[in-house]
Every structure is written in C-alpha cells, then in structure tokens.
Structure 1
Amino acid sequence: MTLYSLLYSLHVLAAMLWVGGMFFAWMVLRPSAAAILQPPERLKLWVTVFRRFFLWVWLAVLVLPMSGMGIWHMRFAGFVGAPGYVHIMAGLYLMMLAVFLRIALQLFPRLEQAVNSEDWPNGGNILGRIRHLVGVNLSLGLLTVALAAARPYF
C-alpha cells in the first residue's frame, strides 16, 4: 500500500465515521429514542451516546485535515494546484469543525450538567439546540461527501 493509498483510506474512513454517525443518530436513534423513552431516560441516553461518539469524532477531526493535507500535497502538488471542489471541501470541513466545537465544548457540558442536576426542561432545551446543530452538520457532511464523489472540475 502506498502512502497516498493509506492517507486516502484514512481520510474516507474518518469522513464516513463522522457523517455516518450523525446520519445514524439523526435518522435512526433520535426517532427511536423519542418513541419509547421518557424525557429523563432519553436525555441520559444522549449524554452517554455523545460521550462515546465524540471520542470518535475527535479522532476524525484530527485525521481529516492531516490526511487531507497529505493528499492535497501528493496529488495536487500543493494548494494552488487543487481543483476548486477540493478547496470547497476544505471550507466545508472548517464549517463542520466550528459546529462540532460549539456542540462538544459549549452545549454538551451544559447538557451533562442539566442531566446530572435532573433539570429535565433545561436538558431538553439544550438537546434541541444540539439536535439542530447536528442537522446542520449532517447537511454539510452529506454535501461534502456528494462533492467528493462527483469530483466536479471547477
């Protein structure tokens, strides 16, 4: 396996992990939990889910730019030689990173605090804000994946 193949594989796996995890949470876990769990149990579930999922997202957040920069350098001989869609993907990554940092560093600790103090209404409000931002990030992630798959030359 060449270094390029390794970097590309790590890049795709990291993107799949992050975007696929958000898709599963949004489309499968969220409606299932809402259908069968009362708010306290649902909030406790989400704290546990986020705690585990965020460990993997942190890994993806680190692997994506490192592998992406390696790919960028090896395939396009630097930033200037890369097609426009690659620059757009990098910008979308930065947007997704900003949203993730808002969730993980600001909202999630507040959700944990609300659950630990059994402040269910506040926890539900915070979870709603997280849900909205995950929807935004999922949309950005799906757009990025579609762009990578289409590889338009602009």
Structure 2
Amino acid sequence: MPIAITIHILAAVIWVGGMFFAYMVLRPAALDLGPPQRLSLWSRAFARFFPWVWVAVVLLLLSGYWMILFAFDGFVNVGLYIHIMNATGILMVLIFLHVFFAPYRRLNRALASADFEAAGQALNQIRILIAINLVLGLITIVVGTAGAYYT
C-alpha cells in the first residue's frame, strides 16, 4: 500500500500541478505574445506535457484500482470519498482523452497550415477543458485527502 499510494499521489501532483502551471502561470505570460508565437508555444508545451499526463493517467488508474481491490478488498469496502474520487478521476481522464484526440489535434493541424484563427479556436476549447479539469483535480485532491476524516 505505501508504494501504491506514493505513486498515486505523485501522479496526481504531476497532472494537476501541470494544469495549474499552464493555466495560472503560462497562460497569462503568453498573452503578451502575438498569435503565431503564442499558439506555437502552447503546441510545444502540450507536446511536452501530454506524455507526462498519459503516464500519470496510467499510474493513477493502476495504483488506484490496485488499492481498492487489494488494500480495501473491493468497492464495497471503501468510503463514499473513494467513490467520489473515482468518479471525478474517470471524468478527468475522459476530458483529457477528448482534449488530446480532438482540439489538440485541431490545434496542430491548424498551425501546420498557418490557420491561426482555427488554431486559436482549438486552443480556446483546450483552455476551457483544462480549467474544468483543474477544478475537478483540485476537488479530487481535497476529497481524497480529507474524505477519510468525514466518513
């Protein structure tokens, strides 16, 4: 259990912390750039961040379900906070999958053809979805860490 929970927490920190950095630090700093530079910066930043998100997603799912199945002996034996954490985590994964396979691909295709208007629209959709995922991630962290004390 100590290894699984450590992996779980580190993966969550990498994913949610990366979204926090992107939304609260990089986004305001990039506003000073013109559209071609700003859109290119985001594409390159996502190209470096998203592989880490894939690793985090796999590790979160494996470690989380390992703990549920082997440390708690199944979903029947876990508290409500684990069920909430599971639901919000799955929703976050689904949102990430959509971001990765839809607007992120549109962003890169638009940049490849120098269509900065379409790239901007794709980036705006990514921005909204990352904001939603960031809020969900912070809620999930609060529920996962404090939930055991309220059951």
Equivalent residue, structure 2, for 1:146: 142
* Corresponding position: 1:46 with 2:42: yes
Q: TM-score, normalised by structure 2?
A: 0.96
- The residue identity in structure 2 corresponding to 1:39 is P
**Structure 1 counterpart SS, 2:77:** coil
The one of 72, 79, 82 equivalent to 2:75 is 79
**Structure 2 counterpart SS, 1:60:** helix
Equivalent residue, structure 2, for 1:9: 6
- The residue identity in structure 1 corresponding to 2:106 is R
Q: Supply the distance in 1 between the matched residues of 2:58 and 2:99 (Cα, whole angstroms).
A: 17
Following superposition, the deviation at residue 75 of structure 1 comes to 2.8
The one of 74, 91, 95 equivalent to 2:91 is 95
* Corresponding position: 1:106 with 2:102: yes
Equivalent residue, structure 1, for 2:112: 116
**Structure 1 counterpart SS, 2:96:** helix
Q: Supply the distance in 1 between the matched residues of 2:91 and 2:58 (Cα, whole angstroms).
A: 15
Gaps of 5+ in 2: none
Equivalent residue, structure 2, for 1:125: 121
Q: Supply the distance in 2 between the matched residues of 1:106 and 1:128 (Cα, whole angstroms).
A: 13
Map Cα deviations across residues 93-120 of structure 1 (whole Å, 9 max, x no partner). Answer: 1100111011001111110011111101
- CA-based RMSD: 1.0
Following superposition, the deviation at residue 74 of structure 1 comes to 3.2
**Structure 1 counterpart SS, 2:102:** helix
Equivalent residue, structure 2, for 1:137: 133
Q: How many residues align?
A: 150
- The residue identity in structure 1 corresponding to 2:30 is A
Following superposition, the deviation at residue 72 of structure 1 comes to 1.4
Following superposition, the deviation at residue 77 of structure 1 comes to 1.5
Q: Supply the distance in 1 between the matched residues of 2:133 and 2:34 (Cα, whole angstroms).
A: 26
Identity, in percent, stands at 44
- The residue identity in structure 2 corresponding to 1:12 is I
The one of 24, 28, 31 equivalent to 2:28 is 31
